[in-house]
């Protein structure tokens, strides 16, 4: 994939978020007619050999990036991560069972609340008393013996915290909402019972939800749940029980190729640590900016910080946007600033933000 200059601003949006420019260029180049097919990806049957190839390559590349073995299915679904809040307990939580939820932010809380509709939920750890500014330490986790699963959110998109590594939770399958950090670094997917992610943050466009699920867990679902919401049905039909989001899967596949071209997940982690490090250094340099996440829980993907006043925060967002730095306003529930710097976010954009921050502080500090 080659890259040519364009007039793109630096897009710090939390999601849908920036995509790799070479991916957008390839999709644009091939939009009218996919090479060797003569039709657009938007026009072909989801049961055509051409699309079989697209989906199989996307899955194979994802498996290779993670190092995923044969114990897990990879499913391409719709409904977003929010639909997984329901599908996980529908499929994995028996009526007489209990599911543990580790609550580290508002997405985790939503997941737990949704699960309560289907069975017993135990919040086995929460950092709500600390306004979710950190993730729990391992001695704060109190998993229920025999729990059906333990659910956690690996990266808390809104508050800007991330588990430094996935914790040990005992024998229960670990279920991970990795919507905003899947593939930002290596992940031991083989150790997880289920990992899910809405694609629109770190993996591709909106409309696709990726689910990685241990095969035996798909057999737990009661007969009563709707066909479309059963993991086993999606698995049996190769994610094509009905029409899947063809274009989103195609674009996801291009992102997987790009990740392989970039050197895979270890290389991405090195790059993401460099990007986040530069930004956190700028935040910590003086007292003008203030990081909102505990240093030990800081996210590589969503960097959250505050300024001395809300008036300055508003001015910061407005002036940054005018300078070509878009989407720096924090989530409406927490305020402040949020710079989302997913895999596809260019290093030059981090440099531009740091330069802008220095200048803004010089004028207003
Ligand atoms: C964005 C997000 C969600 C919700 O994703 P949808 O695909 O919009 O349903 C859930 N969990 C996390 C961690 C998120 O960042």
Q: Please state, in angstroms and rounded to a whole number, the distance separating the CA atoms of residues 320 and 363.
A: 14
Given 227, 261, 295, the domain boundary residue is 261
* CATH label of the domain that carries residue 358: 3.90.1150.10
> Which residue has tokens 């993991």?
231
> Which residue has tokens 């867990």?
217
Question: What separation in Å is there between the alpha carbon of 126 and the centre of ligand 1?
Answer: 19
Q: Please state, in angstroms and rounded to a whole number, the distance separating the CA atoms of residues 194 and 175.
A: 5
pLDDT of residue 302: 98
Nearest residue (by CA) to ligand 1, atom 12, is 179
Nearest residue (by CA) to ligand 1, atom 7, is 80
pLDDT of residue 5: 55
Length of the chain (residues): 365
Task: Give residue ranges with CB within 6 A of ligand 1.
Answer: 15, 80-82, 107, 153, 157, 177, 179-180, 198, 201
- 300 and 250 in one domain? no
* Burial class of residue 169 in the structure, from the number of CB atoms within 10 Å of its CB (0-12 exposed, 13-18 middle, 19+ buried): buried
Given 261, 282, 304, the domain boundary residue is 261
- 311 and 330 in one domain? yes
322 inside domain? yes
Which parts of the chain sit beneath pLDDT 50? none
Nearest residue (by CA) to ligand 1, atom 13, is 179
10 inside domain? no
Closest ligand 1 atom to 84 CA: 9
Q: Please state, in angstroms and rounded to a whole number, the distance separating the CA atoms of residues 91 and 115.
A: 11
17 inside domain? no
- 116 and 77 in one domain? yes
- Domain assignment of residue 360, given as a range: 264-364
Indicate which residues carry an active-site annotation: 107, 177, 201
- 144 and 166 in one domain? yes
Token pair of 268 as six digits = 């991405």
72 inside domain? yes
* CATH label of the domain that carries residue 200: 3.40.640.10
Question: What distance separates the 2 farthest-apart alpha carbons in the chain?
Answer: 64
CA-CA distances (angstroms) from residue 236 to 31, 104, 188, 230? 30, 34, 24, 10
Count of domains forming the chain = 2
In sign, the C-alpha dihedral spanning 341, 346, 347, 350 is: negative
- 235 and 121 in one domain? yes
Question: What separation in Å is there between the alpha carbon of 82 and the centre of ligand 1?
Answer: 6
Given 229, 261, 293, the domain boundary residue is 261
- 311 and 252 in one domain? no
pLDDT digits over 74-125, tens only? 999 999 999 999 999 999 999 999 999 999 999 999 999 999 999 999 999 9
pLDDT of residue 7: 87
Q: What is the 3-state secondary structure (H, E, C) of 225-248?
A: CCHHHCHHHHHHCCCCCCCCCHHH
pLDDT of residue 4: 53
- 178 and 301 in one domain? no
């Amino acid at each position: 994939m080659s890259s040519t200059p364009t007039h793109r601003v630096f897009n710090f949006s939390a999601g849908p978020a920036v995509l790799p420019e070479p991916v957008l260029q390839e999709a644009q180049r091939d939009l009218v007619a996919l090479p060797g097919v003569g039709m657009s990806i938007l026009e072909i049957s989801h049961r055509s050999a051409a699309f079989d190839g697209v989906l199989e390559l996307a899955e194979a590349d994802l498996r290779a990036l993670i190092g995923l073995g044969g114990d897990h299915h990879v499913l391409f679904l719709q409904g977003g991560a929010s639909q997984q809040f329901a599908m996980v307990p529908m499929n994995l939580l028996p009526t007489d069972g209990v599911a543990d939820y580790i609550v580290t932010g508002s997405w985790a809380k939503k997941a737990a609340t949704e699960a309560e509709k289907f069975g017993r939920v135990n919040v086995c750890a929460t950092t709500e008393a600390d306004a979710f500014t950190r993730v729990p330490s391992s001695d704060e986790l109190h998993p229920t013996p025999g729990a059906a699963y333990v659910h956690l959110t690996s990266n808390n998109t809104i508050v800007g915290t991330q588990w430094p590594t996935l914790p040990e939770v005992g024998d229960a399958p670990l279920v991970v909402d990795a919507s905003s950090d899947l593939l930002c670094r290596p992940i031991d997917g083989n150790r997880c019972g289920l990992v899910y992610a809405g694609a629109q943050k770190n993996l591709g466009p909106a409309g696709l939800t990726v689910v990685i699920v241990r095969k035996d867990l798909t057999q737990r679902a009661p007969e009563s749940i709707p066909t479309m919401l059963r993991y086993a049905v999606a698995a049996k039909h190769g994610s094509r029980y009905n029409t899947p989001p063809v274009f989103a899967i195609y674009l996801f596949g291009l992102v997987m190729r790009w990740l392989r071209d970039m050197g895979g997940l270890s290389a991405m982690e090195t790059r993401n640590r460099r990007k986040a490090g530069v930004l956190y250094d700028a935040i910590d340099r003086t007292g003008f900016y203030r990081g909102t996440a505990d240093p030990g829980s800081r996210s590589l993907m969503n960097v959250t910080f505050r300024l001395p006043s809300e008036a300055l925060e508003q001015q910061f967002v407005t002036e940054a946007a005018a300078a070509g730095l878009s989407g720096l306003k924090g989530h409406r529930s927490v305020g402040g600033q949020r710079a989302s710097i997913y895999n596809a976010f260019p290093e030059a954009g981090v440099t531009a933000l740091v330069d802008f921050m220095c200048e803004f502080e010089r004028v207003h500090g």
